[in-house]
């Protein structure tokens, strides 16, 4: 990691975490731990320096972390534009509110489901995704998110894919293999891989880590300018986990929520009894 003011970086990321909505475990939203968010944000900022960066989903809020560290002058480098595409309106709205409050013009979000045609093909130079890890579908869900990232860069760019990485468990190794095969068959090659670099708030497997898999398009790959919906049943089975069928297009936010404060639905006040009553 570059020499930065670590205390200032951690405090900045804590503001981002306060703004982040609670994860929906049934939608495979599992959040990265704060210390690893700091390190990951610096890695992403340097990797995408000066480039237009698309996030295909971003429950972790790495997009906001990168933008805020740049805006706060804690990092002297980073993307020129950050656009998040997520099906969770809570996440999209939280990003918009944070960007508006901090006056971060380079950060924005779009409500989008990966099963639908990608709206901004070829508008970006690189993509980042930390998708459902595909333990129950052999990585098919990872490949769907990766495909949308490839479309975001129009088959002419780079991607960073964050997926489970465990040298003892079988399924992460199978998924990693399948994702690399998919990248190669799509005209991308693996540039490098940083193994076992992130930890998560994951109750059923707290020691499970993830890696950064960096891919890049081959020079002769034909650019693309269009996208289509994905409805192949083989690619959608167990998408968010075993026997979890895809029924939800969007997660809608019921009302505006300040995630840095307790929601009124979470508590009530019990007052001291007044004398004479």
pLDDT tens digits, one per residue of 245-263 = 778 899 999 876 666 676 7
Return the higher-pLDDT residue of 22 and 188.
188
Q: What is the mean pLDDT of residues 199-213?
A: 85
Any domain includes 62: yes
Tell me the pairing of strands 188-199 and 107-111.
Answer: unpaired
Has residue 152 got a pLDDT over 70? yes
Q: Which two tokens stand for residue 20?
A: 């982040």
Any domain includes 255: no
Has residue 264 got a pLDDT over 90? no
| Contact partners, residue 200, CB within 8 Å, separation at least 6 | 30, 31, 32, 33, 206, 208, 209, 210
- CA distances 262 to 21, 22, 201, 265, 266, Å, are 12, 12, 20, 8, 7
- 3-class state of residue 4 by DSSP: coil
Any domain includes 267: no
Return the higher-pLDDT residue of 183 and 6.
183
Return the higher-pLDDT residue of 27 and 253.
253
pLDDT of residue 275: 55
**CATH code at position 46:** 3.40.50.150
Percent over 70 (pLDDT), the chain: 92
Any domain includes 269: no
What angle do helix axes 89-102 and 62-71 make, rounded to 10 degrees?
0
pLDDT of residue 218: 97
pLDDT of residue 254: 87
What whole-number distance in Å separates Cα of residue 68 and Cα of residue 73?
8
Residue 17 confidence class, pLDDT cut points 50, 70, 90 = very high
Dihedral Cα 5, 99, 156, 195, nearest 10 deg: 40
φ and ψ at residue 188, rounded to 5 degrees:
-115, 150
Q: What is the H or E stretch that residue 91 is in?
A: helix 89-102
Mean pLDDT over the full length of the chain = 91
What would the DSSP string read from start to end of 150-186? HHHTTTSSEEEEEEEE-SS-HHHHHHHHHHHHHHHHT
Q: Are the beta carbons of 57 and 131 closer than 8 angstroms?
A: yes
Any domain includes 52: yes
- CA distances 55 to 74, 193, 270, Å, are 21, 19, 44
Any domain includes 263: no
Any domain includes 273: no
Q: Are the beta carbons of 53 and 76 closer than 8 angstroms?
A: no
The Cα angle at residue 33 between residues 241 and 6, in degrees rounded to 5: 155
Range of the domain at 229: 6-245
Any domain includes 98: yes
| Domain count across the chain | 1
pTM greater than the 0.85 cutoff:
yes
């Amino acid at each position: 990691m570059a020499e930065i003011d670590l205390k200032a970086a951690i405090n900045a990321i804590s503001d981002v975490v306060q703004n982040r909505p609670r994860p929906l475990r049934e939608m495979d939203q599992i959040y990265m731990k704060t210390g690893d968010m700091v390190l990951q944000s610096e890695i992403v900022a340097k990797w995408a320096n000066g480039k237009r960066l698309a996030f295909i989903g971003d429950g972790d809020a790495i997009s906001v972390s990168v933008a805020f560290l740049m805006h706060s002058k804690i990092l002297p480098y980073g993307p020129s534009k950050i656009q998040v595409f997520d099906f969770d309106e809570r996440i999209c709205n939280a990003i918009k509110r944070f960007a508006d409050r901090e006056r971060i013009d380079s950060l924005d979000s779009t409500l989008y489901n990966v099963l639908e045609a990608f709206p901004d093909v070829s508008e970006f130079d690189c993509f980042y995704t930390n998708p459902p890890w595909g333990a129950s579908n052999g990585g098919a869900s990872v490949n769907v998110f990766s495909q949308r990232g490839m479309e975001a860069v129009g088959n002419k760019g780079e991607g960073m894919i964050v997926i489970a990485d465990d040298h003892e468990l079988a399924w992460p190794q199978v998924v990693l293999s399948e994702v690399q095969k998919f990248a190669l068959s799509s005209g991308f090659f693996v540039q490098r891989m940083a193994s076992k670099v992130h930890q998560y708030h994951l109750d059923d497997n707290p020691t499970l880590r993830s890696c950064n898999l960096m891919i890049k398009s081959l020079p002769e790959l034909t650019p693309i300018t269009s996208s289509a919906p994905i409805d192949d049943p083989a690619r959608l089975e167990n998408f968010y986990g075993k026997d979890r069928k895809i029924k939800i297009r969007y997660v809608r936010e019921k009302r505006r929520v300040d995630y840095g404060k307790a929601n009124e639905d979470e508590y009530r006040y019990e007052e001291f009894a007044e004398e004479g009553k």
